[in-house]
């Protein structure tokens, strides 16, 4: 069978659904070019789950990607494979780093945070209430962004200025239209800001996870628990994973409900609940479309006769997998909060399964419930198909979400 040329992914992800359709049509796994790097994009959910469970598939680029040294200086997405934290760790290192923060994000600990989330939502909605009735409001800017930033700021002990100061550099980590030089400059800014944060918290610790991680590092002289680079990398992960994704789920859930009032009617008539809206949004428009990267440690034969060779890179194409017709039938492309099977891979699968899933679910369900109760007549201010997608092949949201809160 002749090898296909790699399918070149659009860095701006301008028409991602058409692209994901094309990926699925090429087979369960197919070679793609992601900003100049060749990887196997896996869009079949069964195969993807199998690969994510294999011990011979690693996220440690330094150890298991022969192309790492040549790529890291020239690839705009280098940070995704080079940052030091559990996200890029393998085996016992991964378990060590994950154990440090997992207890703070357990379902029980997050349930206890519900009143904090409710209070933060109240403050945000009060702010919206104070705006002039006829004003067009960007809900991405005024609701989707502030809530996750405030929640992660609360957990990590950041004041509003610190949290908002990190926003631009974190947003740019998810942007995939930057040149390698621009991305490297952003990484340098990001690391400088996090080093400043660590220095400030070191001299004036609080009752928060940043201070706890710093204390862990400082009590651990030889770095067997946490090195200085891993401390910084873990804070980068917690703060960026903790908000960029959740912003986009809030944005996409509101969009889907406003674009199709029947869906909102389902919730109001209790044919489904807010949690169903959250899960269907995660399936239909997951906030991470493709997740870079994993690496095969051994040759892995694929069902169609191809082989992922040891050292090859693998791209988890979660958004394409979530709409696979073999899993969700002919109407996989439809948003339907009442569908009984909303199984999805938005949070990943296996040992790297998202630690923030309970927190993200709590935030999104709370803000949707409260927003539609406070502003029952909220409408999109432009047709849904005119909303501009974010220019990235990783994140999945809109540049803005203009609405009228109280249309006359
Ligand atoms: C709806 C919102 C979110 C989505 C869709 C999401 C999705 C993901 C995905 C796809 C991964 C990587 C899985 C892989 O390796 O393939 C991940 C990892 C992770 N997420 Fe989330 N995330 C969300 C919110 C959060 C929040 C709120 C936090 C923390 C406060 C968080 C913390 C993490 C951490 C620490 C990891 C790394 C886990 C590991 O490598 O072992 N996430 N997330």
pLDDT in tens, 24-62: 999 999 999 999 999 999 999 999 999 999 999 999 999
DSSP state of 140: I
359 lines ligand 1 (CB under 6 A): yes
| Rounded Cα gap, residues 393 and 177, in angstroms | 9
At residue 165, does pLDDT exceed 90? no
pLDDT at residue number 163? 85
For ligand 1, atom 3, name the residue with the nearest CA: 245
Is pLDDT larger for residue 243 or for residue 27? 27
Does residue 375 lie within any of the structural domains?
yes
- The CATH number given to whatever domain includes residue 176 is 1.10.630.10
Cross-strand bridge partners of residue 275: none
145 lines ligand 1 (CB under 6 A): no
Does residue 54 lie within any of the structural domains?
yes
Supply 157's token pair: 């002990």
pLDDT at residue number 4? 77
180 lines ligand 1 (CB under 6 A): no
pLDDT at residue number 223? 79
At residue 195, does pLDDT exceed 80? yes
| Rounded Cα gap, residues 65 and 374, in angstroms | 51
- Best probe residue, ligand 1, of 356, 359, 366 (max atoms within 8 Å of C-beta): 356
298 CA from centroid of ligand 1 (Å): 26
Residues in the chain: 408
80 lines ligand 1 (CB under 6 A): no
- pLDDT tens digit sequence for 114-131: 999 999 999 999 999 999
Average pLDDT over residues 110-114: 97
| Rounded Cα gap, residues 278 and 19, in angstroms | 24
Percent of the chain past pLDDT 70, that is, above it, reads 99
Average pLDDT over residues 88-109: 97
Question: Taking the mean position of all CA atoms in its chain, how far away is CA 127?
Answer: 26
Does residue 303 lie within any of the structural domains?
yes
Which atom of ligand 1 is closest in space to residue 363's alpha carbon?
A: 27
For ligand 1, atom 17, name the residue with the nearest CA: 354
Pairing of strands 307-308, 300-301: antiparallel
- Residue matched to tokens 């889907």: 256
pLDDT at residue number 134? 83
pLDDT at residue number 346? 98
292 lines ligand 1 (CB under 6 A): no
| Rounded Cα gap, residues 76 and 369, in angstroms | 38
237 CA from centroid of ligand 1 (Å): 9
Pairing of strands 7-8, 29-34: parallel
41 CA from centroid of ligand 1 (Å): 19
133 CA from centroid of ligand 1 (Å): 37
87 lines ligand 1 (CB under 6 A): yes
Which atom of ligand 1 is closest in space to residue 237's alpha carbon?
A: 35
241 CA from centroid of ligand 1 (Å): 6
397 lines ligand 1 (CB under 6 A): no
At residue 288, does pLDDT exceed 60? yes
Percent of the chain past pLDDT 90, that is, above it, reads 93
Supply 145's token pair: 């962004």
Average pLDDT, the chain: 96
For ligand 1, atom 42, name the residue with the nearest CA: 356
At residue 1, does pLDDT exceed 50? no
149 lines ligand 1 (CB under 6 A): no
Pairing of strands 291-296, 57-58: antiparallel
pTM, two decimal places: 0.97
Does residue 16 lie within any of the structural domains?
yes
Q: How many domains does one find in the chain?
A: 1
Sort residue 223 into left (φ over 0), alpha (ψ -120 to 50) or beta.
left
pLDDT at residue number 220? 83
Band (3; pLDDT cuts 50, 70, 90): low
Residue span of the structural domain in which 187 resides = 7-404
Does residue 2 lie within any of the structural domains?
no
Does residue 121 lie within any of the structural domains?
yes
CA distances from 143 to 193, 196, 197 (A): 25, 28, 26
For ligand 1, atom 43, name the residue with the nearest CA: 354
348 lines ligand 1 (CB under 6 A): yes
353 CA from centroid of ligand 1 (Å): 7
Residue 379: how many other CB atoms lie within 10 Å? 12
At residue 2, does pLDDT exceed 90? no
Does residue 1 lie within any of the structural domains?
no
For ligand 1, atom 39, name the residue with the nearest CA: 352
**CB under 8 Å to 86, separation ≥6 — which residues?**
94, 97, 98, 101, 234, 237, 352
379 CA from centroid of ligand 1 (Å): 31
354 lines ligand 1 (CB under 6 A): yes
DSSP state of 233: H
Average pLDDT over residues 220-227: 87
291 lines ligand 1 (CB under 6 A): yes
347 lines ligand 1 (CB under 6 A): yes
Which atom of ligand 1 is closest in space to residue 86's alpha carbon?
A: 40
Residue 198: how many other CB atoms lie within 10 Å? 18
Contact 362, 114 (CB under 8 A): yes
């Amino acid at each position: 069978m002749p090898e296909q040329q790699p399918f070149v992914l659009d860095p701006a992800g301008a028409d991602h659904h058409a692209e994901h359709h094309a990926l699925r049509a090429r087979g369960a796994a197919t070679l793609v070019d992601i900003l100049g790097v060749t990887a196997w994009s896996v869009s079949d959910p069964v195969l993807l789950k199998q690969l994510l469970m294999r011990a011979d598939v690693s996220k440690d680029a330094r150890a298991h990607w022969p192309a790492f040294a040549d790529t890291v200086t020239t690839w705009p997405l280098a940070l995704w494979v080079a940052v030091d934290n559990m996200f890029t760790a393998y085996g016992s290192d991964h378990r060590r780093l994950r154990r440090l923060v997992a207890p703070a994000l357990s379902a029980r600990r997050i349930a206890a945070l519900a009143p904090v989330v409710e209070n933060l939502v109240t403050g945000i909605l009060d702010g919206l209430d104070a705006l002039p009735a006829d004003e067009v409001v960007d809900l991405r800017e005024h609701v989707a962004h502030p809530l996750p930033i405030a929640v992660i700021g609360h957990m990590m002990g950041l004041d509003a200025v610190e949290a908002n100061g990190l926003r631009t550099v974190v947003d740019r980590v998810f942007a995939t239209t930057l040149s390698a030089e621009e991305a490297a400059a952003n990484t340098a800014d990001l690391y400088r800001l996090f080093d400043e944060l660590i220095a400030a918290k070191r001299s004036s610790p609080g009752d928060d996870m940043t201070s706890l991680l710093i204390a862990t590092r400082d009590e651990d002289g030889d770095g067997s628990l946490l090195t200085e680079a891993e401390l910084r990398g873990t804070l980068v992960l917690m703060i960026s994973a903790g908000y960029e994704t959740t912003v986009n789920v809030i944005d996409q859930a509101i969009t889907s409900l406003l674009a199709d009032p029947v869906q909102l009617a389902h919730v109001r008539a209790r044919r489904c609940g807010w949690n169903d809206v959250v899960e269907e949004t995660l399936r239909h428009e997951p906030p991470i479309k493709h997740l870079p990267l994993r690496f095969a440690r051994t040759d892995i034969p694929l069902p169609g006769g191809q082989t992922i060779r040891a050292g090859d890179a693998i791209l988890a194409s979660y958004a394409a997998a979530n709409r696979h017709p073999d899993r969700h039938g002919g109407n996989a492309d439809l948003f339907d909060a009442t569908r009984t099977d909303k199984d999805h891979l938005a949070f990943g699968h296996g040992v790297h399964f998202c630690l923030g899933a309970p927190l993200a679910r709590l935030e999104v369900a709370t803000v949707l419930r409260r927003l539609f109760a406070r502003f029952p007549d909220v409408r999109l201010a432009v047709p849904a198909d005119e909303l501009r997608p974010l220019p990235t092949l990783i994140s999945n949201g809109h540049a803005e979400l203009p609405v009228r809160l109280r249309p006359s």
